[in-house]
Amino acid sequence: MATLELIVSEEVVAGPLVRSRRLGLLFWMAIGWMLFVFAVAILAPVLPLPSPTDMDMLERRAPVSALHWLGTDGLGRDELARLIYGARISLTVGLFAPVIGLAIGGALGILAGYFRGRFETLVVGSMDVLLAFPPLILALAVTAYLGQSILNLTCILGVLGIPAFMRVARAATLTLARREFVIAAQALGATHARILVRELLPNVMLPLLAFFLLGVAVTIVVEGALSFLGLGVPPPISSWGSMIGEGRESLEIAPQLAFIPAMALFLTVLSFNLVGDTLKALTDPRQSAL
Amino acid sequence: MLGFVARRLLYLVPVLVAVSLLTFLIASLLPGDLAYVILGDQATPDKVAALRHDMGLDQPIWWRYLGWLGHVLEGDFGRSFRTGQTVLQAVAERLPVSFELMLLAELAALAIGIPLAIACAVRSGSAFDRFMTGSAFGMLSVPAFLSAILLIYLFAVELRWLPATGYVPFSDDPLGNLRCFVLPALTLALGEWPVLMRVLRSDMISTLQEDYIAMARAKGLKPSRILLVHALKPSSLTLVTVTGINIGRLMGGTVIVESVFALPGIGRLLLGAIFTRDLIILQGVVLCVACGYVLMNFIVDMLYAVLDPRIRHGHA
């Protein structure tokens, strides 16, 4: 089932040595880009940037200049400042929503995989209900009722991520729960709580964290899509999605207004995908066994 | 097989009931009282109370849910208080557009993905293979709204080959109709083909290592026949599932694509309902889409079981 549209990677064959070295460089470039975006987004208030919301009607869609490094948008707002402040929104939602999914979904998955029985049926069943809605459509509908705000957006996207994390955690727990160290702990008389927290959690955490990065990529895309449609963050706050949406109006005269945030979004999503995929390949027992 | 179908069908019932409950709860519990929406901000409390009473909004929630579910089961999904159109009419009017879009997109994605997957699988590990798997990975990071903008810029603004927006009904002008679907379908296909290609490629690589393929080669069969007849069918099991599963992605994608290219499909209906706060249409459309999605998944499950006997006997 396509949960938050997460894609299962099917990379197995084809020269592991060549691949790992090739991915190595890209991997570090991706990490570098992520760090750069994070740094810029965090430092935004102290950087010498013009205000991202101040309009200047005389300087609409101005070209690149010393004052406006990336020019200005259709309302004369500084494009670079909007891009950087947009990164703050995209990253905030992109990071915190999967944290919700990771916490709730991960916990449910471990409990379901460990205790099995009715509880597992109930959890898996309710996740199936959540999965019965195409994710973007559910997100749209709920935002429409709740109203647009960053908090609402984060919560909705977080809830939508729960089933995916639940599945990963449950699958990992199911295999781990039969392993010797868990049986040994049980034989020593360890309590359920101790086994869950001390034995299972550290082992399940690894695949979950790799999956978390992929979740960040997906969330940034969904947030971008919602903002693009005008249903994400409320204006005048900019997010990459809303900037692309605004740039769409002036594709004929100023295509850069759509393409600059598009490029930033693409590179960021690609970086998270790359790093997540690499870590997943490292932590996936099926693949490391090969 | 019959037992398998029956079991899956039985499982559908609680899922569908829960889906309807969730749809209803989203619409009823969240802020934004229908009576206020209809009457506007200036409504007096008396009027609101009267309308709430007329609409049954003052009754307990479970009672309202049961009433609503009863109507839905009779095929009455409600009526828009803005246009007077029933939900079913509105959906029936828009469905063909979305359906055509999804069908064309899926076909285009298969047309791009299958040949590439075969070509990559034949020369797995080659420079071509690595380049294509790399591009596929890159394409996965391009959301639909990005490729839409790129395609519009390229084909509508720069080259002026195709219209950027607009819709011509098929009955008026079949060719014109297809023309206005080219860019939207391509947009969705660009996001789909990498998924299909990756899945088919890896399945195909493992199939090509089977003994019977070596046997077919030894018999001197033409390589094209081996690939297309002997290897493709057993490799396409996962492809079928993924194609089916991706319908959910595609449905989300159609909302964006229909909005960008101004196609009058379900997605635009949904967005329009959101922007005009037409809650009844919204609720009805979400329910229809979710039910359609659940049924679609059921059909894919069935199809998969037909293709792979291990599934229906529970050995998978």
DSSP-derived secondary structure for B155-180: IIIIS--S-SS----TTT-HHHHHHH
pLDDT of residue A97: 93
Which residue on chain A is closest to B294 by alpha carbon? A132
Rounded to a whole number, what is the distance in Å from the CA of B44 to chain A's nearest CA? 22
The distance of Cα B292 from the centroid of its chain, to the nearest Å, equals 9
Verify whether the Cβ–Cβ distance A10 to B198 is below 8 Å: yes
Instruction: For Cα atoms B206, A3, A201, give the angle at the middle one, nearest 5 degrees.
Output: 85
Residue A72's φ and ψ, nearest 5 degrees, are -125, 165
Say which range, A137-146, B41-50, B147-156, has the weakest mean pLDDT. Answer: B41-50
Burial class (CB in 10 A: 0-12, 13-18, 19+), A243: buried
pLDDT of residue B243: 79
Verify whether the Cβ–Cβ distance A266 to B141 is below 8 Å: yes
pLDDT of residue A285: 54
Which residues from A are below 8 Å from B255, CB to CB? 136-137, 140, 229
Could you report the per-residue pLDDT of B57-73, keeping only the tens digit for each? 777 778 788 888 888 88
Rounded to a whole number, what is the distance in Å from the CA of B272 to chain A's nearest CA? 11
The distance of Cα A88 from the centroid of its chain, to the nearest Å, equals 14
pLDDT of residue B309: 66
pLDDT of residue A5: 43
Q: Considering Cα of B51, then B54, then B57, then B60, what sign does the dihedral take?
A: positive
Q: Pick from A34-38, A278-282, B37-41, B308-312 the range whose average pLDDT is largest.
A: A34-38
Verify whether the Cβ–Cβ distance B202 to A10 is below 8 Å: yes
Rounded to a whole number, what is the distance in Å from the CA of A112 to chain B's nearest CA? 19
62-121 in chain B: CB under 8 A from chain A: none
Reply yes or no on whether the pLDDT at B253 is more than 80: yes
Question: From CA B232, how far away is CA B230, in angstroms rounded?
Answer: 6
pLDDT of residue B303: 77
A141 in contact with B at a CB cutoff of 8 Å?
yes
Could you tell me the two tokens for B53?
A: 């009473």
The distance of Cα B81 from the centroid of its chain, to the nearest Å, equals 28
Verify whether the Cβ–Cβ distance A132 to B152 is below 8 Å: no
Question: From CA A149, how far away is CA A126, in angstroms rounded?
Answer: 27
Rounded to a whole number, what is the distance in Å from the CA of B239 to chain A's nearest CA? 12
Given a contact cutoff of 8 angstroms between Cβ atoms, the answer to whether A274 and A30 are in contact is yes
pLDDT of residue A109: 92
Q: Digits of tens for pLDDT over chain A (290 positions)?
A: 334 444 444 444 444 444 444 557 888 888 999 999 999 888 877 777 777 766 666 666 667 776 666 677 766 677 788 888 888 888 999 999 999 999 999 999 999 988 888 888 888 888 888 887 878 888 888 887 777 788 888 998 999 889 989 988 998 888 888 888 888 988 898 888 888 888 888 888 888 888 898 899 989 998 998 888 888 877 777 888 888 888 888 877 778 788 888 999 999 999 999 888 888 887 765 544 33
Return mean pLDDT, chain B.
82
pLDDT of residue A15: 43
pTM score, two decimals?
A: 0.83
Looking at residue A44, its amino acid is: A
Which residue on chain B is closest to A242 by alpha carbon? B145
* Nearest C-alpha neighbor of B304 from the set B234, B238, B235: B238
pLDDT of residue A108: 93
Q: Average of pLDDT values for B261-288?
A: 84
Say which range, B43-47, B115-119, B224-228, B236-240, has the weakest mean pLDDT. Answer: B43-47
Which residues from A are below 8 Å from B146, CB to CB? 244, 262, 265-266
Of A14, A129, A225, the CB nearest to B19: A129
Which residues from B are below 8 Å from A242, CB to CB? none
Question: From CA B194, how far away is CA A79, in angstroms rounded?
Answer: 32
pLDDT of residue A101: 92
User: DSSP of A99-168, one letter per residue?
Assistant: HHHHHHHHHHHHHHHHH-HHHHHHHHHHHHHHHTS-HHHHHHHHHHHH-S-HHHHHHHHHHHHHHHHHHH
Does the interface ipTM go beyond 0.90?
no
B22 in contact with A at a CB cutoff of 8 Å?
yes
* Nearest C-alpha neighbor of A218 from the set A102, A65, A58, A125: A102
Rounded to a whole number, what is the distance in Å from the CA of A146 to chain B's nearest CA? 6
More confident residue, A287 or B159: B159
